């Protein structure tokens, strides 16, 4: 079974040379730590920066240089700043190659819910609805089950949707899965996790074709 860093490490393998990548808040942010050194990648943050670098050294924080999580950041050579409409032109216009974000629920038809729990949590969708409606290449990073142990991979989402039919790949603490033909297809198992355990943790329809390899991290 993977921890959050393990999930990030596995997703980092999906990041290819020359990609512009938008990372959501939470596990997705960790992906930047595991991208190979020998490829060129630029991270976009939707508040208006491309070429995001690591956190600043203490004493060098700048209130005018933050990421979408409102954290102080730095920029790398080649970086640029821009306004919010231009930022979403990059996203809506499919210039960003890969979007990695978290989710509360994903359905077997690719629906995703991650912005609202009625009566409990209403923080807003931020840029998530624009991201999932526009990107062709979306990876969801999340735990396979919630804190109560209930599956987050469902037949249908129970929470208000962020987007419809948009998720194609999911990396959880248990597995890598693809969504097609209205089902979750098991692609890889996390180290030490059995197909049976993944079946038990998946409420939606799970397709298991042949031997499922263990992921290489």
Asked whether the beta carbons of 144 and 173 are under 8 A apart, the reply is yes
Interface residue with another protein, options 19, 34, 130, 137 (CB under 8 A): 130
How far apart CA 19 and CA 94 sit, in angstroms, is 12
46 labelled catalytic:
yes
Q: Report how far Cα 145 is from the mean position of its chain's Cα atoms.
A: 16
Please state the length of the chain: 217
Q: Rule CB under 8 A: choose which of 124, 147, 181, 216 binds another protein.
A: 124
Which residues, 41 to 70, sit near another protein by CB under 8 A?
A: 45-49, 54-58, 60-70
Q: Min. distance of Cβ 215 from another protein in angstroms?
A: 29
The answer to whether residues 43 and 35 touch, using CB atoms and an 8 Å cutoff, is no
Shortest gap between Cβ of 122 and another protein (angstroms)?
Answer: 7
Instruction: Please report how many Cα atoms fall inside a 13 Å half-sphere around the Cα of residue 74, on the Cβ side.
Output: 11
Nearer to another protein, 135 or 175 (CB): 135
Q: How far is the CB of 199 from another protein (least distance, A)?
A: 29
Q: Of 14, 40, 46, 156, which one is the catalytic site residue?
A: 46
CA pair distance 27, 9, nearest whole angstrom: 10
Residue 41's nearest CA partner among 76, 86, 8, 83 is 76
Q: Which residues are catalytic?
A: 46
Given the rule CB under 8 A, which residues bind another protein?
45-49, 54-58, 60-73, 81-85, 87-88, 91-92, 111, 122-130, 133-134, 160-165
């Amino acid at each position: 079974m993977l921890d959050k860093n393990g999930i990030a490490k596995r997703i980092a393998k999906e990041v290819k040379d020359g990609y512009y990548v938008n990372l959501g808040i939470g596990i997705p942010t960790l992906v930047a730590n595991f991208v190979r050194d020998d490829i060129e990648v630029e991270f976009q943050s939707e508040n208006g920066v491309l070429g995001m670098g690591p956190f600043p050294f203490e004493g060098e924080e700048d209130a005018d240089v933050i990421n979408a999580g409102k954290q102080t950041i730095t920029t790398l050579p080649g970086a640029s700043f821009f306004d919010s409409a231009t930022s979403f032109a990059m996203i809506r216009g499919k210039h960003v190659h890969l979007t990695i974000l978290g989710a509360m629920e994903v359905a077997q038809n690719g629906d995703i819910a991650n912005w609202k729990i009625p009566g409990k949590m209403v923080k807003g969708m931020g840029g998530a609805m624009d991201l999932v409606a526009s990107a062709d290449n979306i990876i969801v990073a999340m735990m396979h089950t919630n804190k109560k142990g209930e599956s987050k991979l469902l037949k249908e989402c129970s929470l208000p949707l962020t987007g419809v039919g948009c998720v194609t790949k999911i990396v959880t603490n248990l597995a890598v899965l693809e969504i097609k033909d209205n089902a979750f297809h098991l692609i890889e198992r996390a180290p030490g996790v059995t197909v049976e355990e993944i079946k038990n943790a998946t409420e939606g329809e799970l397709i298991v074709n042949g031997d499922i390899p263990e992921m290489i991290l």
